[in-house]
Structure formats: structure tokens, C-alpha cells
């Protein structure tokens, strides 16, 4: 008997998740540290759908709810981890490629689980769940969850509807990135037809930034460097700047797209000193050329992500980390443009 096709295996996994939901009562939903719109949106979307069918649901994130996503209905459900484990039947890990990125405290509160379900769209996902629903072709975990919820005939309350839209919109750069598909637009259209106020939710998502974010932009621009050939741009955020501006982690979300948009730039990088994390550096990378796979570069340093968007957490100091990563990027760029 031949192995099942990817589509058949995907459908079988969805059915298995449906059986898990039907046969269990209590659920804990987790997402990655430094959560973005896809992470929090995915938690709210699945969580509110489960609540609508009478399940007991807990939404936990290691860093709590980002200020910029507090406008989402249902966001009050997202809390930091409690001190003690939460006794639940099933844990869903959403939009998270490696188990450690859920965070130490979050993993502790999930210690009493019976089943771990891993739902994600990162190509670097390590399939650490008991059940793994991974689709690297999907532009957002929110899109996978929409397909899951609708395939299982689960309700899509307004909270889930709006959260899915924000999850997809933010992870596709407001439907600009190459990962956006015709299906992505079809889902968005369906959400609008079901009552989503697209103008209002886009305004809340993209037009409600605190002033300190502009101060951060000014500080970052003062560190901007462009390679001699104009193909690589990078900037960095020092811990002293974070303290001076009283920044929150979400204040830098999406700012890398500013330098990614420079004409001629093919790779953009954002280097960031992490507070209280033993001198670690966070590196965000974006590529505009599929020949330059930044996920492959990230994997060299223990990171991961997608071909055109990836990240790393590595030991500092910042200048040493920059030198190592920029050298790897230069090799990838040179290879792409000489082959």
C-alpha cells in the first residue's frame, strides 16, 4: 500500500484533531514568546471557537498580551502563565516552531497535559507535538486555523472572525508578501461577508501606534547601514535605547519592513539586544529574493522561520553577532547573484 499523499495526510490530521476536541473538555492554548498578530490572533480564534461549543479553555502566553493587540475582542482571555500548572486534557501550541519558544513558564503550566497538538506554518517546525498540523505553504497560522475550524464545522464567533483576519493580515504584511495566495483573499472576503468591519479593524491594527514607536524609528535610523552594493540593509536596537524610550517588545513589530522596502535592498536585518537574557541578541531577517533563503541562514545559528522571513536568538555581544550573521548573509547574497 502506498504512502498517503500530503493532502490526504493533512485531512487525516484535521479529523484526528476533531476527534481530540470532541472527546476532551479542557484545553490550554499557547503561542510563542514575543507574540505577534498571528500568534495572539490564532489563540483567540481557536479559543473562542472552543468556548462557543462549551469547552473549558485557557489562553496563556509567556509574555502576556501585547498592548497593540488589546483592541481585539477576546484579547482579555490571554494571560501570562500562572505559577502552578494548569490541569488540562489538551494543549495546543500555535504559531510556534520549536517547543522551547513557548517559554519556560508557559511550558511549566502545561506540564500536566495528556496531549500536545502543534499547529504551525513555519518550515523549520520540529514537529514536537503528539499531533502535528504543519503547513509551510500557508501564509499564517491563522489561515490554517480558519480551514480547521470550518472543516470541523465549529462555530466562528465574531471574536474568532476578527482574530483570524488580524492573524492573516499581519503575517502577510497586510496581504503584500509573496506567501499571500488566492485562498488568502477568499478567506478575507468571506470574513468581511460574515460581518468583519475591515476599515475599523485595519485602522486599529495599523494606525494606532504610540508616540514612542516614532521615537524608536528615529533611533533606529541613526544606526542604519547599507552595504556597498546596496543589497543588504541593517539597523540595531541597544538596551540603553530601550530603557531611555521605555519601549515595549511590540513597539518594534513590523519596523524591519521600512528598510526592506529600500529600492535595491534584497535582505534586511534587525539586530536587537534582549533585556535580561544573558547577553542574547535577537535577529530578524527579511528577504525579497527567493534565491536568498533567510531561514537556511537562521538555521546555521539555531534559528528558523520561512524562506523570506526568519529569526535567530544567539549569544552576543551585539557587534560579534552582527559580524557572524552579516558574513553568512553576504555569502548567501554572493551565491545568489553569481550562480
Shared domain for 174 and 136, answered yes or no, is yes
Residue 320, domain member (yes or no): yes
Closest residue by Cα to residue 269 from 297, 306, 233: 233
Are 257 and 198 in a shared domain?
no
Q: Are residues 76 and 191 in the same domain?
A: yes
Confidence category of residue 338, pLDDT binned at 50, 70, 90: confident
CATH of the domain at 59: 3.90.1640.10
Q: Which residue has the higher pLDDT, 210 or 5?
A: 210
Least confident interval from 173-182, 224-233, 330-339: 330-339
Can you tell me the mean pLDDT for 11-30?
A: 96
Within this chain, do residues 170 and 228 fall inside the same structural domain, yes or no? no
CA 278 – CA 326 distance, rounded (Å): 22
Q: Does 1 reside within a domain?
A: no
Q: Are residues 233 and 296 in the same domain?
A: yes
Q: What pLDDT band is residue 277 in, cutting at 50, 70 and 90? A: low
11: in domain: yes
pLDDT of 5 reads 56
Are 159 and 266 part of one and the same domain? no
User: What per-residue confidence (pLDDT) applies to 3?
Assistant: 46
DSSP states of 146-196 as a string?
Answer: HHHHHHTT----HHHHHHHHHHHHHHTTTTTSTT--HHHHHHHHHHHHTT-
Query: Which CATH number covers residue 236?
Result: 3.10.310.30
**Region 278-290: what's the mean pLDDT?**
91
Do the domain assignments include residue 52? Answer: yes
pLDDT of residue 4: 57
Record the pTM: 0.91
Q: What is the pLDDT of residue 12?
A: 92
Say how far apart CA 272 and CA 313 lie, in whole Å.
10
In the chain, how many domains are there?
2
Final residue of a structural domain among 154, 172, 206: 206
Q: Please give the pLDDT value at position 9.
A: 82
Residue-wise pLDDT for 113-139, tens only, equals 899 999 999 999 999 999 999 999 999
Q: Identify whether residues 73 and 201 lie together within a single domain.
A: yes
Counted residue by residue, the chain has a size of: 339
Mean pLDDT, residues 178-182: 93
Average pLDDT rounded to a whole number, residues 306-311: 93
Asked if residue 181 has pLDDT above 70, the reply is yes
Structural domain of 292 = 211-338
Of 179, 206, 233, which residue constitutes the final position of a domain? 206
Are 59 and 45 spatial neighbours (Cβ–Cβ below 8 Å)?
Answer: no
Task: Answer yes or no: is 273 within a domain.
Answer: yes
Same domain, 199 and 235: no
Number of H helices, E strands in the chain: 12, 12
In a domain, 16, yes or no: yes
Same domain, yes or no: 147 and 123: yes
Q: Assess if residue 85 is contained within a domain.
A: yes
- Residues 145, 32, single domain; the answer is yes
Read off the pLDDT band of 258 (50, 70, 90): very high
Taking residues 6-16, what's their average pLDDT?
87
Residues 262 and 188 in one domain: no
**What confidence score (pLDDT) does residue 1 get?**
40
Same domain, 48 and 182: yes
User: Would you state the pLDDT for residue 2?
Assistant: 43
On the question of pLDDT at 89 being above 90, the answer is: yes
- The reported pLDDT for the residue numbered 278 is 65
320, 312 contact by CB (below 8 A): no
Sign of CA dihedral 20, 21, 22, 26: positive
Amino acid at each position: 500500500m502506498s504512502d498517503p499523499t500530503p493532502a490526504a495526510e493533512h485531512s487525516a490530521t484535521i479529523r484526528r484533531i476533531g476527534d481530540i476536541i470532541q472527546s476532551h473538555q479542557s484545553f490550554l492554548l499557547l503561542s510563542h514568546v514575543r507574540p505577534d498578530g498571528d500568534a495572539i490572533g490564532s489563540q483567540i480564534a481557536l479559543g473562542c471557537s472552543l468556548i462557543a461549543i462549551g469547552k473549558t479553555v485557557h489562553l496563556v502566553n509567556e509574555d502576556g498580551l501585547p498592548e497593540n493587540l488589546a483592541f481585539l475582542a477576546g484579547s482579555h482571555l490571554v494571560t501570562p502563565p500562572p505559577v502552578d500548572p494548569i490541569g488540562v486534557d489538551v494543549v495546543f501550541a500555535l504559531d510556534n516552531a520549536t517547543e522551547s519558544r513557548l517559554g519556560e513558564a508557559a511550558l511549566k503550566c502545561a506540564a500536566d497535559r495528556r496531549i500536545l497538538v502543534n499547529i504551525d506554518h513555519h518550515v523549520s517546525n520540529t514537529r514536537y507535538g503528539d499531533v502535528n498540523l504543519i503547513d509551510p505553504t500557508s501564509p499564517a497560522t491563522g489561515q490554517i486555523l480558519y480551514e480547521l475550524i470550518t472543516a470541523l464545522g465549529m462555530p466562528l464567533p465574531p471574536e474568532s472572525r476578527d482574530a483570524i483576519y488580524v492573524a492573516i493580515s499581519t503575517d502577510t504584511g497586510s496581504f503584500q508578501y509573496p506567501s499571500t495566495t488566492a485562498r488568502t483573499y477568499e478567506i478575507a472576503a468571506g470574513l468581511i461577508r460574515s460581518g468583519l468591519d475591515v476599515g475599523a479593524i485595519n485602522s486599529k491594527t495599523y494606525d494606532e501606534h504610540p508616540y514612542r514607536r516614532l521615537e524608536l524609528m528615529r533611533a533606529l535610523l541613526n544606526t542604519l547601514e547599507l552595504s556597498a552594493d546596496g543589497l543588504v540593509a541593517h539597523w540595531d536596537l541597544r538596551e540603553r535605547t530601550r530603557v531611555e524610550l521605555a519601549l515595549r517588545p511590540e513597539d518594534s513589530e513590523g519596523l524591519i519592513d521600512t528598510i526592506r522596502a529600500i529600492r535595491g535592498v534584497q535582505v534586511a536585518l534587525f539586530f536587537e539586544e534582549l533585556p535580561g537574557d544573558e547577553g542574547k541578541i535577537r535577529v530578524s531577517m527579511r528577504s525579497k529574493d527567493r534565491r536568498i533563503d533567510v531561514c537556511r541562514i537562521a538555521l546555521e545559528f539555531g534559528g528558523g522561520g520561512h524562506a523570506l522571513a526568519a529569526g535567530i536568538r544567539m549569544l552576543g555581544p551585539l557587534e560579534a553577532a552582527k559580524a557572524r550573521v552579516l558574513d553568512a548573509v553576504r555569502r548567501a547574497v554572493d551565491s545568489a547573484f553569481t550562480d
